Each structure stands twice: as C-alpha cells, then as structure tokens.
C-alpha cells in the first residue's frame, strides 16, 4: 500500500545530512538553529545556512522546520519573537517549540510563523492538543509514551486541521519525553538546554560505604552494566497502524547522526511508504548502526527494552559517499578501506545495487589495489543508477 498523504520527516545536523535526506525522499527536514535548540553547537545552522537549507528544501518540494524547543528563561522570551521573524525571513516553514511562553511570544510577534509543539511538551491527550491549537499551533508532536490506542483516541477528539506527528525511528531517552536531569547532575551539562552527555549510556556499578574503590556489578553481563540505556525505536512493524490511528507526519530521530545514517533510515521508510515490503525496509534499517530495536510504547508499556549495550549493531560497513560520476566511473571519498575485487553495495534511492569493485584508480588515473587513506578520493566503474549523493557499503558475510 502506498501512503502518499503521509509526511516523512528527517533530521539534519549538517548540510550534508540535509542533502542526503532530500535525495533519499524526505518530505520535510528539521534542523537546529543558533538559538535554543536541544542539540550541541556543531549541529546548529546559522541564519545564512538556514536560508540555504530552505532553498534546497523548497526546490525539491520539501519543507524545513527549525527546532527551538529548549525551555525558555525570562531573558530569552522576547528574543524568541525576533528569532521567529528572522527564521521566517530566512524561509523556514515552521518552528518546533515546547515552552508555552515561547509559543505565545512567537505567535504574538510573528503570527504567520507555523508552530509545531515539541515532544518535550509531552502532549498525551486531546485536551492538551486542543489547547495548543487554540494558542495557534498547527501541529503537535506526540509524547513518546503514547500507545496506538491512545493516539486513536486523541485523533478522534481533535479537528482534522491539527496535524499529528510521531517519532518512528532512532534513539530513545530513558526519561519521560526526554526531560532528563541525569546529565545536568553528573556533568553540569543539561539535556534540557542542548548539552546532554548521554549519561544514561554509561556503565554503572554499586559501591559499598566501607569498601571504597571496590565495584560490584549490578547485573552479571559480559556486555557491561548499562542499566539506564534504552533500546532504539523502530516503528516500522506498526507503521500501518500508526498511520491508521491518524499520524500525519513520521519523524526520524538523529540530528547527531551521519549523512549515511540519515540516508539509510530515510530510504528504508520511503521504500515502505511507496509500496515496498516490510522485509526489504527492515533489512535496510539493520544495515545502519543501531542499538537493539523496540517498537517503543506503541503496543503498550515497554518490556525488556532497557540495558541496551553501549556499542551499536550493523549489518554493513560504510565505505564512503559518491562525490561525482563521469561516464561509467564514480568518484568516491574513502571512509573505510576498500580492496580490489570486493563485493560492494550501492545505497541509492529506492534500491540497492550490488557490484564488484574493479579497476580502482586515484583521481590522476593511477591504478591502486585498495583505497585506504581516510577522506582521500578514488574512482571505480559503477552500474547505472549510482550517482553523486549515493553511498557505498560492504555487507558483512
């Protein structure tokens, strides 16, 4: 079944990630700007980059949303209004906001700015959703703790012009709707102000008052004691039910992820939304780095979804992005070693192309047995359909 009416919303922590999201079929992209976003500085777009990103999105018929979803202190409220005007001038289509005062400030100063209520506002019922709509919100991003049945009930009791967005893929926080204080307590870096140190992924042990320096495992496990580390969300198995329940935008988490990760996740969900089968899309989601997958709260309370290991799983190794194509040869940037004769997969929009790596050369035309220097360039013959914007990978045996 095709779902042409549903928005696929992708993360962008860099311009390369934004381009990957658009190339692989995202209908909209969300990014952080220079003010009050909940990701650390290197993922922030300045206003000139936001204007460039908006142009790229609009050229492809996609939309750009800017996250400004930190809870706002008194001295920041007035700035939110002027910031909204600057984002509107730059071409942003909407702001993602969690703070009630910030929503009010934005709508008062820039009434034409579309507002989406962040998942951090933990909207879990239709009365809250209706209140946000009365304040001028166009969309609510549901709290991650809602079940399918609860989403159906919320949709039944809200007007159709209120859009509903839900997370379908990516890392999950062990705290309620991501409002966590562990990082702030342990490191002074607040997750609610964009500085999360991922403290829940650390390995923990017990100590006893009279035995300083002696550590007792909390649980015997060869992978360590990451007792607060949650599984990753993968809602692909319940995607049909989510859409039937009334979700109109499907959100992929990952503004700290690489362009390759964004491309793989977007491609997997795009394939399914365009009428592909579950098995092929699930294979793609297992090809990118992930912790063990869970369907989150959509089927009810999560069971056995904590204690995810600190490391990631993946069925493929990333070889590098395709930078350009000329004739039958592609130029690729090295991210991991590739040897002559290796069977390679090319990640392209909607399909995976397999071929043997042959006739590897430097950009000057010199033959090489392997490409191994990180971030250097090499060329090789590729099948039709492999072009700039695609990615090469090596599947594990």
Q: Output the CA torsion 369→372→375→379 (10° steps).
A: 20
Q: Is 151 within a domain?
A: yes
Same domain, 48 and 184: no
pLDDT at residue 306 in the model: 65
Same domain, 370 and 339: yes
Flag the least confident range among 161-165, 168-172, 217-221, 320-324: 217-221
Residues above pLDDT 70, as percent of the chain: 88
Is pLDDT of 310 > 70? no
Residue 3: Cβ-neighbour burial (10 angstroms; 0-12, 13-18, 19+):
middle
Same domain, 134 and 148: yes
Same domain, 98 and 13: yes
Which of residues 292 and 195 earns the better pLDDT score?
Answer: 292
Q: Which CATH number do you get for residue 36?
A: 3.20.20.60
Residues above pLDDT 90, as percent of the chain: 75
- Tokens 């209520």 found at: 117
Is pLDDT of 197 > 80? no
Those residues whose C-beta lies under 8 Å from the C-beta of residue 100, and which sit 6 or more positions away, are: 121, 135
Same domain, 148 and 274: yes
pLDDT at residue 387 in the model: 98
Same domain, 161 and 248: yes
Residue 297 CB coordination number (10 Å): 18
Q: How many separate domains does the chain show?
A: 3
Is pLDDT of 189 > 90? no
Q: Output the CA torsion 52→53→55→59 (10° steps).
A: 140
Q: What angle do CA 179, 234, 171 make, to 5 degrees?
A: 35
Flag the least confident range among 15-29, 178-192, 233-247, 349-363: 178-192
pLDDT at residue 195 in the model: 67
pLDDT in tens, 152-176: 999 999 999 999 999 999 988 777 6
Those residues whose C-beta lies under 8 Å from the C-beta of residue 313, and which sit 6 or more positions away, are: 286, 289, 290, 291, 292
Same domain, 389 and 260: no
Mean pLDDT computed over 276-286: 97
Q: Which CATH number do you get for residue 356?
A: 2.40.30.10
Q: Is 301 within a domain?
A: no
Residue 130 CB coordination number (10 Å): 17
Helices (H) and strands (E) in the chain, counts: 10, 20
Same domain, 145 and 243: yes
Flag the least confident range among 6-10, 124-128, 213-217: 213-217
Q: Is 311 within a domain?
A: no
Same domain, 23 and 95: yes
Is pLDDT of 49 > 90? yes
Same domain, 30 and 136: yes
Mean pLDDT computed over 165-194: 76
DSSP string over 329-388: EEEEE-SS-EETT-EEEEEETTEEEEEE--S-B-TTS-B-SEE-STT-EEEEE--TT--T
Angstrom distance (rounded) from CA 38 to CA 26: 22
Q: Is 235 within a domain?
A: yes
Same domain, 191 and 252: no
pTM across the whole model: 0.89
pLDDT at residue 179 in the model: 67
Same domain, 184 and 152: no
Those residues whose C-beta lies under 8 Å from the C-beta of residue 304, and which sit 6 or more positions away, are: none
Is pLDDT of 304 > 70? no
Give residue 199's domain range. 177-217
Residue 48, beta-bridge partner list: none
Which of residues 387 and 226 earns the better pLDDT score?
Answer: 387
Contact 37, 2 (CB under 8 A): no
Contact 260, 199 (CB under 8 A): no
H or E segment and range at residue 116 = strand 114-117
Mean pLDDT computed over 198-224: 69
Tokens for 245?
């329940």
Q: Is 300 within a domain?
A: no
Q: Is 363 within a domain?
A: yes
pLDDT at residue 303 in the model: 63
Q: Is 303 within a domain?
A: no
Angstrom distance (rounded) from CA 224 to CA 307: 9
């Amino acid at each position: 079944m095709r779902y042409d009416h549903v928005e696929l919303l992708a993360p962008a922590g860099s311009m390369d990630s934004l381009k990957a999201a658009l190339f692989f079929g995202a209908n909209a992209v969300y990014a952080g700007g220079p003010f009050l976003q909940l990701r650390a500085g290197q993922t922030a777009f300045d206003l000139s980059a936001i204007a460039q990103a908006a142009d790229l999105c609009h050229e492809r018929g996609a939309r750009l949303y800017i996250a400004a979803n930190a809870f706002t202190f008194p001295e920041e409220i007035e700035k939110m209004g002027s910031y909204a005007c600057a984002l509107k001038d730059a071409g942003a289509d909407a702001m993602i906001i969690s703070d009630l005062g910030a929503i009010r400030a934005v709508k008062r100063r820039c009434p034409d700015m579309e507002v989406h209520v962040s998942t951090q506002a933990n909207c879990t019922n239709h009365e809250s959703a209706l209140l946000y709509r009365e304040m001028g919100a166009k969309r609510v991003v549901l709290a991650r703790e809602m079940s399918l049945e609860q989403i159906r009930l919320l949709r039944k009791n809200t007007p159709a012009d209120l859009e509903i967005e839900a997370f379908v893929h990516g890392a999950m926080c062990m705290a309620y709707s991501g409002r966590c204080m562990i990082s702030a307590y342990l490191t002074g870096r607040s997750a609610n102000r964009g500085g999360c140190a991922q403290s829940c992924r650390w390995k923990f042990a017990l100590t006893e008052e009279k035995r300083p320096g002696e550590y007792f495992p909390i649980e015997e496990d060869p992978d360590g004691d990451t007792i607060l580390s949650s599984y990753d969300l993968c809602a692909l198995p319940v995607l049909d039910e989510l859409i039937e329940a009334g979700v109109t935008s499907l959100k992929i988490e990952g503004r700290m992820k690489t362009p390759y990760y964004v491309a793989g996740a977007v491609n997997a969900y795009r394939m399914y939304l365009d009428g592909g089968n579950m098995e092929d899309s699930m294979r793609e989601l297992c090809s990118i780095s992930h912790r063990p997958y869970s369907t989150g709260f959509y089927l009810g309370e999560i069971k056995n979804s904590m204690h995810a290991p600190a490391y990631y799983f993946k069925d493929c190794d990333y070889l590098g992005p395709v930078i350009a194509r000329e004739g039958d040869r592609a130029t690729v940037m090295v991210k991991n070693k590739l040897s002559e004769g290796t069977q390679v997969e090319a990640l392209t929009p909607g399909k995976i192309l397999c071929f043997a790596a042959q006739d590897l050369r430097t950009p000057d035309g010199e033959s090489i047995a392997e490409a191994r220097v990180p971030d250097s360039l090499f060329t090789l013959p590729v099948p039709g359909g492999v072009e700039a914007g695609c990615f090469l990978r090596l599947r594990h045996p």
